Structure 1
Amino acid sequence: MIARTGHLSRLAMPPAGSDNFQRWSWRYLWHQRITRRWIKMLSLLTLVGFFSAGLGLSISQREQNFATGRKLQDIGNDQETSHFPPTRQTHQNTHDPTILRVGDEYYLYNVGEHMLIHTAPSMAGPWKFVGNVLDANSVIPKGDRVAPWAPTVIAVDGTYYCYYSVSKAGCRDSAVGVATSDSPGPGNWFDHGAIIETGTGEGSDIHPYTVSNAIDPSTLVTADGEAYLTWGSYWNGIFQIPLGEDLISPASTTEPDARQLAWEPKSLGMPNRMANTICGDPTGPHAIEGAFISYNDGWYYLWYSHGFCCGLKPDNLPPAGQEYVLIPLFPVLKLTKSRYSIRVGRSHSPRGPFTDKSGTDLVKGGGEIVYGSNGDTYAPGGQGVLRDGDTDVLYYHYCESMPTTIFDHTHVDHIAVNKTIGIDFPVSFHLFDRLVCRDRRSFLTPVHPP
């Protein structure tokens, strides 16, 4: 029966044909439940087809790499990154390192249970595990108290200060804490607890704690004794406040005199539709973190990590500088471009504003790429600068992946040292003169007039 609306009614019988098989087919396919079942089946088959095709291409590419002997060094040898100097190994696995030299001994502090301490006679090792900063979990009642993140250690007047953070990935319910000791090794650290808190906790309702994420701390003490705490990751970027004379508390808890030092205005990924005031960012990830400030010859340098640190595809690495992160976006996985790299800006003041070689403020998205993926070095970041004699040494962690089979790979964070980027090191002019100044021997105009 033909419905009067001009189309076949769901309750009407489809028109009969002269062929009995055709009539039976119409009746069978016209059943509403059968139609839905077919649609679901076809949709599932389509998704499986797409996945199989993607997996096949991925395996094909990996097999081609193995068959042709294509090495990671070849993959990472593009025009954009080939000028970076090679990594100098320290032969120590780590993440978010900080290095301190005390006499003839080097101390390495990094993420791990109660924060790990290693020592070595040189930056190249061999590194020996000697103990932990904390004897128990952090006293701050939030986040990962067992293995605090991103410790930074400084020495001032015979006292060692270890600034650390506790948090939960993807949320800014975080805190920066501090422990002190009269020696750089394990066994005598006292945990003072939180200096600042974001998300929840004491003072978290005061700007900029209302808009920032209290992780990745670093502390700078200037020649005249002024101390500044710098922190921040994602959300609204990198912030700084003055510390009190004790170096374990803000100069002011009610009016922190905060400065925003750097930010990535653009979202580098998809907005988080499930975001709230603490977890997720409704505008998407503003991937900037890990700030560290060093001083040299009248300039303060703000180093930071930009882009996504993790989630690479180590069994099928793309060209260096074009790493990708897998983001679930039902019903497929979305590949989002990532450029985890070390960037820098500078200022005559420790309070900024910090600008790159073009004069762009880091708060407005500026930042010179100092070191990025190259060869088998992927996603360098978590950096710091050690003044070693008359040389500044840039150290960082990175991902190194060497596939052994199609579904097996090694993925290790290493601490790496690269003295060729040192500000006072002559060969650094091949890379760093564009930021610091042009070759003085040729009397070219400095990028930043003194």
Structure 2
Amino acid sequence: MLHTVLSVFSVLLAAVAALPAEVHINTTSFSNTTAYPLPNLGNVAAHDPNIIQYNGSFYLFKGGVHIPIHKASSLDGPWEQIGTVLHESSVITKQNRSRPWAPTTVEWDDRFFCLYAISESGSRNSAIGVASADSPESGNWTDHGALINTGEGALSDIDPYTISNAIDGAFIADQKTGSPHLLYGSYWHGIFTVPLADDLLSVKTPQHPNATNLAYVPKETVKPIEGSFMTYKAPYYYLWFSHGKCCHFDLEKFPPMGDEYSIRVGRSSDVTGPFVDKDGVDLLDGGGTVVYGSNHGVVYAPGGVGVLTGSGNDADVLYFHYLNTTIGFTQGDAQLGWNYLHYVKGWPVALEGYVHANGKDDF
């Protein structure tokens, strides 16, 4: 009996000793600026969100096991998980096949295509895959495998795959020709665009991808640029991206204020650039105008950006994930936020609240 009591006591002591010391969160790195509005709440946890609107409903795709799909009648939710894009691990035989990152779903030629990334933190052995379906609902998606590989895999020895990282896929169509383009890239050599075949299931000329480098940070040792998204609002293409440290924060030593994620943009009259920011700095020279950053001591490291393009009387909507400093700082704590946009001299500005921007745009 005494031996049993001593054994239990020893286990309890070991458990107490294993508990982490109290963490003192360094709040001095949180920005209290009011230069950016608080977000409208999406009321759902989401990292790298992607949203499309179809048949009067919103569909939210996010990174996670088999790419979860949520559905709501409003951006405020409530969001109901209705299934997943993939019914099993990706057919791409690389690490983290069961948990693709950063999906982007688009409607193209009466079909839906979900671009997704297979990778792991700090690795360039990555791939962008694609799945397709005749509806954004779950259950009818076909996984077609890799569009591009970096590090290892088919054609990964071809420029620019030798210097880039195949994650964070996005999509844009050339307004002049109608031709589709894949955007991708993270750290390493920044963001690229590659023309796609008309069926979106391969690069247009796989052996000679005709890629264009759109954004880069040449003068920094670490190249913190990723998560691109492109929109068109005549007469400009807008290249959106996240800049800075996204996650895995040390709670006692956050990066210096401003080095965390922020949402930036440049614009061009051509889908392949050159893109410049509001000050005329080329995005290939590290340019990028901040549209939305940490604010009010509550919003921290906003990124994973996307834009819903408004039509008719609807304004464009900027949506993103952010860390709420009152909730937590892990990727699982990331929250969906969104704001309306209006354009001042052709540059997007995030609006406070639920005021539609129609009629305010100034080009």
Q: TM-score range by the shorter chain?
A: 0.7 to 0.9
Q: Which amino acid aligns with 1:229?
A: L
Q: For the residues of structure 1 that align with 2:130 and 2:140, how far apart are their CA atoms?
A: 14
> Among 340, 345, 366, which residue is 2:266 paired with?
345
Structure-1 residue corresponding to 2:172 = 220
Contact map agreement 2:37 2:350 (CA 8 A) in 1:
no
Contact map agreement 2:96 2:119 (CA 8 A) in 1:
yes
Structure-2 residue corresponding to 1:377 = 299
Deviations 1:155-214 (A, max 9, x none): 012200000010121010001110000000100000000011001111111100000000
Contact map agreement 2:31 2:257 (CA 8 A) in 1:
no
Confirm whether residue 84 of structure 1 aligns to residue 33 of structure 2.
no
Unaligned residue ranges in structure 2 (runs of 5+): 1-20, 352-359
Rate the CA distance shift 1:422–1:191 in 2: closer, same or farther, 3 A. farther
- In the TM superposition, what is the alpha-carbon distance from 1:75 to its structure 2 partner? 5.7
SS at match of 1:391: coil
Confirm whether residue 302 of structure 1 aligns to residue 213 of structure 2.
no
Q: For the residues of structure 2 that align with 1:119 and 1:440, how far apart are their CA atoms?
A: 30
> Among 136, 142, 164, which residue is 1:184 paired with?
136
Structure-2 residue corresponding to 1:147 = 99
Deviations 1:359-411 (A, max 9, x none): 111001111011000020000000000124332111000111227xxxxx575
SS at match of 2:284: helix
Rate the CA distance shift 1:293–1:212 in 2: closer, same or farther, 3 A. same
Q: Which amino acid aligns with 2:162?
A: T
Structure-2 residue corresponding to 1:119 = 71
Structure-2 residue corresponding to 1:399 = 323
Structure-2 residue corresponding to 1:362 = 283
Structure-2 residue corresponding to 1:104 = 56
Structure-1 residue corresponding to 2:121 = 169
Q: For the residues of structure 2 that align with 1:193 and 1:294, how far apart are their CA atoms?
A: 26
Structure-1 residue corresponding to 2:224 = 287
- In the TM superposition, what is the alpha-carbon distance from 1:262 to its structure 2 partner? 0.2
- In the TM superposition, what is the alpha-carbon distance from 1:429 to its structure 2 partner? 5.8
> Among 158, 179, 198, which residue is 1:245 paired with?
198
1:5-24 equivalent positions in 2, closer than 5 A: none
SS at match of 1:363: helix
Confirm whether residue 134 of structure 1 aligns to residue 94 of structure 2.
no
1:194-273 equivalent positions in 2, closer than 5 A: 194-223=146-175, 224-267=177-220
Contact map agreement 1:142 1:174 (CA 8 A) in 2:
yes
Q: For the residues of structure 2 that align with 1:229 and 1:352, how far apart are their CA atoms?
A: 14
Deviates more, 1:84-93 or 1:389-398: 389-398
Q: Which amino acid aligns with 1:235?
A: W
- In the TM superposition, what is the alpha-carbon distance from 1:440 to its structure 2 partner? 8.0
Unaligned residue ranges in structure 1 (runs of 5+): 1-54, 66-71, 268-283, 318-322, 325-334, 404-408, 432-438
Identity of aligned residues (%): 43
Contact map agreement 1:402 1:410 (CA 8 A) in 2:
no
Greater CA radius of gyration, 1 or 2? 1
Q: For the residues of structure 2 that align with 1:285 and 1:427, how far apart are their CA atoms?
A: 28
Q: After TM superposition, where is structure 1 displaced by more than 4 Å over at least 4 residues in a row? A: 426-431
Q: For the residues of structure 2 that align with 1:174 and 1:214, how far apart are their CA atoms?
A: 5
Contact map agreement 1:114 1:146 (CA 8 A) in 2:
yes
Q: For the residues of structure 2 that align with 1:286 and 1:234, how far apart are their CA atoms?
A: 5
Q: For the residues of structure 2 that align with 1:342 and 1:430, how far apart are their CA atoms?
A: 11
For this pair of structures, how many residues does the alignment match? Answer: 328
- In the TM superposition, what is the alpha-carbon distance from 1:104 to its structure 2 partner? 1.0
Please give the TM-score of this superposition, normalised by the length of structure 1: 0.68
Contact map agreement 2:47 2:304 (CA 8 A) in 1:
yes
- In the TM superposition, what is the alpha-carbon distance from 1:143 to its structure 2 partner? 2.2
Rate the CA distance shift 1:422–1:163 in 2: closer, same or farther, 3 A. farther
- In the TM superposition, what is the alpha-carbon distance from 1:225 to its structure 2 partner? 1.9
Greater share of helix residues, 1 or 2? Answer: 1
Q: For the residues of structure 2 that align with 1:308 and 1:139, how far apart are their CA atoms?
A: 30
Contact map agreement 1:392 1:423 (CA 8 A) in 2:
no
Q: For the residues of structure 1 that align with 2:219 and 2:335, how far apart are their CA atoms?
A: 29
Q: Which amino acid aligns with 1:123?
A: L
Q: For the residues of structure 2 that align with 1:378 and 1:173, how far apart are their CA atoms?
A: 29
Contact map agreement 2:318 2:350 (CA 8 A) in 1:
no
SS at match of 1:402: coil
Structure of higher RCO (CA pairs closer than 8 Å, 6+ residues apart): 2
Q: For the residues of structure 2 that align with 1:189 and 1:430, how far apart are their CA atoms?
A: 35
Rate the CA distance shift 1:246–1:295 in 2: closer, same or farther, 3 A. same
Q: For the residues of structure 1 that align with 2:138 and 2:153, how far apart are their CA atoms?
A: 29
Contact map agreement 1:391 1:423 (CA 8 A) in 2:
no
Q: For the residues of structure 2 that align with 1:160 and 1:312, how far apart are their CA atoms?
A: 35
Rate the CA distance shift 1:207–1:106 in 2: closer, same or farther, 3 A. same
